[in-house]
Amino acid sequence: MIDEALAKKLIEACRSDGEFRLAARHWTGGLRLESPSGACAMLIEDGQVGPPQPPRSATGRIVLKASEETWAKLLSAKPPRFHNDLSALLALKAMTLEADPVCFAQYYPAVMRAIELLRPKTAQAPLSVAKPAGTFDSPVGRYVHLDIEGQDYRIYFEEAGSGIPMLLQHTAGAHGAQWRHLFECREITDHFRLIAYDLPFHGKSLPPVGPKWWTEEYRLTAAFARALPVTLARTLDLQRPVFMGCSVGGLLALDLARYHPDVFSAVISLEGALKIEVAISDLGRLWHPQVSNEYKGRLMNGLMSPTSPEAYRKETSQVYASGWPPAFLGDLHYYVDDYDLRQEASKIDTGRVAVHILSGEYDASGTMEHGRAAHKAIAGSTWAGMDDVGHFPMSENPNAFFSYLLPILKQVHEAYSQAAPKPK
């Protein structure tokens, strides 16, 4: 499979692909794919594929080595979970890398696009999302001032719908636009008042005025992450709201169930876990002066299902690429360092706060195994694995996500209605 014939296909495909050309701009070096039985390679000079002479710089050379079986899975039309992206294969040591680490991060988007171009082409049904000019979407946005840890924070949130209040927490390094598809689902908004907020330093929630935040490294702590939705619920006078979060927000959902069951009636944890065991020291290239935000966006694409609509996958990645550079790594301080519910999960009382956990098949971070372990540790919780969905179900494939979410919301609505005081 990995041979000179594949090299010809690789060169021709990359030369004619606009996405690759943009991602490879300024790259001088080469890409080589190796298996025990063969290899294929292409040279790149200042972003141009296949120069007649070897490139001047050896530092731009990227070599990937794996077994024939691994290459077959990676290059298949629908790669299986953990084989759809290089990052998971490298983490699992199913593939080895020979490259300058910074250079690899700089041109990771180009390398992954080259891999995609080697896969058989598959047709996706076009998205019918166009609306008549002048149409208004449902959410309305505004700001509210919150006192958190003695500091004034001007928090932006959007809301739509009526009924049971539900706070929505975005993923690390992102913002509340990830929830936009829920706002347009009448099956949800007819029964729930959705409130999606942006963390400070994210989206439209600007940094606080006063402290010299630019002189210190940004880090999201467990105490602050919990305090924000609790304070927001109190300030907006929400009565026993529901909380739903994804990734960082998915961990936070379980954290809130443990430490604030008096505030929330139910939590829905998307891509949740008891503990994410990753060394934050291995993630430094997420905020590096020589690595752009494109790297973050492309990494997140690797956590999504290859069957999710391309336009929604690219939109999800764009949100990451447009964020404040330190925000993603700073949020991961909570995600991998400050959060650990392994000793506390059994203390969650699902008689006081219902706990629902959903895990995407293609999520290589908060895996289905992580979600199932959290479910087993929390008596009375529910769990389901979501087929053909990854780390961002609400934004990468909303229609598939709704098929898993709506039955949970029905349970939440019934339980909330039964618990509500009956009129005299």
Q: Going by C-beta distance under 8 Å and a sequence separation of 6 or more, which residues neighbour residue 111?
A: 31, 62, 64, 86, 104
Q: In this structure, are strands 192-197 and 164-169 parallel, antiparallel, or unpaired?
A: parallel
**Alpha carbon distance 303, 408 (integer Å):** 24
Q: Going by C-beta distance under 8 Å and a sequence separation of 6 or more, which residues neighbour residue 383?
A: 356, 357, 358, 359, 371, 372, 374, 375
**Alpha carbon distance 399, 311 (integer Å):** 14
Q: What are 99's two structure tokens?
A: 């490259």
Q: What are 219's two structure tokens?
A: 């880090």
**Alpha carbon distance 266, 258 (integer Å):** 11
Distances (CA, A) of 400 to 135, 151, 246, 381, 396: 25, 40, 16, 22, 9
Task: Answer whether 280's CB lies under 8 Å from 337's CB.
Answer: yes
Q: What are 62's two structure tokens?
A: 């990227």
Which pLDDT value is given to residue 53? 61
**Alpha carbon distance 307, 313 (integer Å):** 10
Q: State the Cα angle at 255 between 417 and 190, rounded to 5°.
A: 30
3-state secondary structure 168-209: EECCCCCCHHHHHHHHCCHHHHCCEEEEEECCCCECCECCCC
Q: Going by C-beta distance under 8 Å and a sequence separation of 6 or more, which residues neighbour residue 233?
A: 165, 167, 241, 263, 264
CA diameter of the chain: 86
What does the pLDDT profile of the chain (424 residues) look like in tens digits?
A: 788 889 899 999 999 999 999 999 999 999 999 999 999 999 999 999 986 566 566 679 999 999 999 999 999 999 999 999 999 999 999 999 999 999 999 999 999 999 999 999 887 767 777 889 999 999 999 999 999 999 999 999 999 999 999 999 999 999 999 999 999 999 999 999 999 999 999 999 999 999 999 999 999 999 999 999 999 999 999 999 999 999 999 999 999 999 999 999 999 999 999 999 998 888 989 999 999 999 999 999 999 999 999 999 999 999 999 999 999 999 999 999 999 999 999 999 999 999 999 999 999 999 999 999 999 999 999 999 999 999 999 999 999 999 999 999 999 999 998 887 654 4
Which pLDDT value is given to residue 52? 55
Task: Answer whether 294's CB lies under 8 Å from 24's CB.
Answer: no
Block residue for tokens 């943009």? 22
Task: Answer whether 348's CB lies under 8 Å from 335's CB.
Answer: no
Task: Answer whether 254's CB lies under 8 Å from 355's CB.
Answer: yes
Which pLDDT value is given to residue 58? 66
**Alpha carbon distance 278, 176 (integer Å):** 25
Q: Which of 90, 105, 107, 89 is nearest to 30 (CA)?
A: 107
**Alpha carbon distance 175, 195 (integer Å):** 12
Distances (CA, A) of 302 to 116, 237, 270, 306: 11, 39, 17, 8
Which pLDDT value is given to residue 54? 62
Whole-structure pTM over 0.85, yes or no?
A: yes
CA 214, 218, 224, 229 torsion: positive or negative?
positive
The gap between the terminal CA atoms of the chain, to the nearest Å, is 74
Task: Answer whether 203's CB lies under 8 Å from 279's CB.
Answer: no
Q: Which residue segments constitute the domains of the chain, with CATH numbers given? A: 4-117 (3.30.1050.10), 140-419 (3.40.50.1820)
Distances (CA, A) of 19 to 47, 182, 289: 12, 30, 23
Task: Answer whether 155's CB lies under 8 Å from 236's CB.
Answer: no
In the chain, helix, strand, coil percent, each to 5? 40, 20, 40
